[in-house]
Amino acid sequence: MNAVTLKGLSKTYANGKKAVDSVNISLACGEVFGFLGPNGAGKTTTVKLLNGMLTPTGGSCAVFDVDPAKNPQKTHALSGVVTEHAQMYDTMTGIENLIFYGSLYGLTPSESEQQGKTLLEELELSHAANQKLAAYSTGMRQRLSLARALIHQPQILFLDEPTSGLDPESAQNVHHMIRRLASEHGITIFLCTHQLRYAQEICTRYGLMEEGRLLAEGTLDSLRLLTDSGMTLKIKASRIPETLLCQKTAPDAYEVPIQSEEEIPGIVRSIVNAGGDIYHISATLPSLEDIYFHLTRKEKSA
Ligand SMILES: Nc1ncnc2c1ncn2[C@@H]1O[C@H](COP(=O)(O)OP(=O)(O)OP(=O)(O)O)[C@@H](O)[C@H]1O
Ligand SMILES: [Mg+2]
């Protein structure tokens, strides 16, 4: 059974805006799926469709074979959702909020409290468990909303920009937690994010959206094949021969596009023969960020 299935999924809003346009995606259980794309690409709309908050205007979607539009309650029992603007209660403490949301999922107060305390500890919020939410900072609220989404131990977690507003350390903690949830608990993760470097560290597959359409989908290696951009050789050297096709990125720093490692010894020899001293040299494959820009620019120039 797939964790997530989108079949020709489309959503046109009442104002005529086609936010999601015939998207097909199948995700196996345990994947950490990075759903990427510029502002307005249709990511949040897709998450809302997968949670039954919106109904499709075309095609269909399913979470563990459950159609969220037809059976929202069953979908909510399977899913946890973190959005940018999670609703919680300012006049209640952190742990009270978690106990309240636990009760909505049928947990007893003591079950919620136990699970809530574990989550608060993992998210480094134990010290604020008994503070009213009104006194939480943006980052603390964001982490509490992640705890809220996990209170009923869902099988899939939808995260819509879960680290926006977090400081680098908190963002890293959340990313580590996401990875742990997938690797140790087998939870499938559907992550909408603009933070491509983190996404490259934690995701197993990616979907790249633009203007409602899925431009590309797959693992990092399969996406690399789409870019045909080979590798980049980064060189720090006192001087390089004029004949070497390269881009100067800083004083003494150059980038040379290469197709394979076979080209490296010849390049090194040419620099040394030209009287240059080499301080550093490394070959890098295209990053997720490189692929993202390559594919979105290609789309714009087409
Ligand atoms: N309720 C709505 N009514 C009309 N149009 C909407 C509505 N919600 C979103 N849209 C439009 O649908 C498109 C997709 O929006 P969506 O929020 O899904 O994008 P996104 O990929 O999540 O963007 P971001 O990265 O900014 O969060 C945008 O053009 C947006 O203006
Ligand atoms: Mg969004």
Query: Which residue has a Cα nearest atom 29 of ligand 1?
Result: 40
Query: Mean of the pLDDT values across residues 97-115?
Result: 95
- Atom 12 of ligand 1, nearest CA residue: 19
Judge whether residue 301 has pLDDT over 90: no
Instruction: Give pLDDT, residue 270.
Output: 94
The vertex-296 CA angle with 220 and 197, nearest 5°, equals 45
CA-nearest residue, atom 3 of ligand 1: 13
CA 45 – ligand 2 centroid, Å? 7
Q: What is the pLDDT of residues 258-272, one digit of tens each?
A: 888 899 999 999 999
Q: What is the pLDDT of residues 19-78, one digit of tens each?
A: 999 999 999 999 999 999 999 999 999 999 999 999 999 999 999 999 999 999 999 999
For position 194, what pLDDT does the model report? 92
Taking the whole predicted model, whether its pTM rises above 0.85 is answered as yes
Query: Which residue's alpha carbon is at the smallest distance from atom 2 of ligand 1?
Result: 13
pLDDT digit string, tens, across residues 198-250: 999 999 999 999 999 999 999 999 999 888 768 899 999 999 998 888 889 99
Give the pLDDT confidence score for residue 225 in this predicted structure.
Answer: 86
Instruction: Categorize the per-residue pLDDT at 302 as very low, low, confident or very high, splitting at 50, 70 and 90.
Output: low
Q: Is the pLDDT of residue 129 over 90?
A: yes
Please, which residues have CB less than 5 A from ligand 2, an ion?
Answer: 43-44
Ligand 1 atom nearest the C-alpha of 84 is: 27
The 3 state secondary structure assigned to the chain is: CCCEEEEEEEEECCCCCEEEEEEEEEECCCCEEEEECCCCCCHHHHHHHHCCCCCCCEEEEEECCECCCCCHHHHHHHEEEECCCCCCCCCCEHHHHHHHHHHHCCCCHHHHHHHHHHHHHHCCCHHHCCCEHHHCCHHHHHHHHHHHHHCCCCCEEEEECCCCCCCHHHHHHHHHHHHHHHHHHCCEEEEECCCHHHHHHHCCEEEEEECCEEEEEECHHHHHHHHCCCEEEEEEECCCCCCCCCEEEECCEEEEEECCHHHHHHHHHHHHHCCCCEEEEEEECCCHHHHHHHHHHHHHHC
Closest ligand relative to 159 C-alpha = 2
- What's residue 95's pLDDT? 97
Write the pLDDT tens digit of every residue in 140-171: 898 899 999 999 999 999 999 988 878 888 88
Please give the distance, rounded to the nearest whole angstrom, from the Cα atom of residue 38 to the centre of ligand 1.
11
Which pLDDT belongs to residue 82?
92
| 8 A C-beta contact, residue 283 and residue 294 | no
CB-based burial, 100-129: b 16+ in 10 Å, e otherwise = bbbeeeebeeebbbebbbebbebbebeebb
Residue 299 has pLDDT above 70, yes or no: no
Ligand 2 mean position to 53 CA, how many Å? Answer: 14
Residue nearest to atom 26 of ligand 1 (CA): 39
**Residue 60, pLDDT score:** 97
Residue nearest to atom 24 of ligand 1 (CA): 39
69 half-sphere exposure, CB direction, 13 A CA radius? 13
Residue 256's pLDDT is: 92
pLDDT exceeds cutoff 90 at 292: yes
pLDDT in tens, 34-43: 999 999 999 9
CATH 3.40.50.300 positions along the chain are 4-225
Among 6, 17, 21, say which to mutate for ligand 1: greatest number of ligand atoms within 8 Å of CB.
17
Q: Kindly report the average pLDDT of the chain as a whole number.
A: 93
Cβ < 6 Å from ligand 1: which residues? 13, 15, 17, 19, 37, 39-45
Ligand closest to 49 (CA) is: 1
Query: Among 3.40.50.300, 3.40.50.2300, 3.30.300.30, 3.20.20.80, what is the CATH number of 4-225?
Result: 3.40.50.300
Q: Which of 9, 11, 15, 44 to mutate to test the pocket of ligand 1 (most atoms within 8 A of CB)?
A: 44
Q: What percent of the chain has pLDDT over 90?
A: 75
Reported residue count of the chain is: 302
CA–CA distance, 172 with 221 (Å, rounded to integer): 24
Q: What pLDDT is stored for residue 34 in this prediction?
A: 98
Query: How far is residue 117's CA from residue 123's CA, in Å, rounded to a whole number?
Result: 10
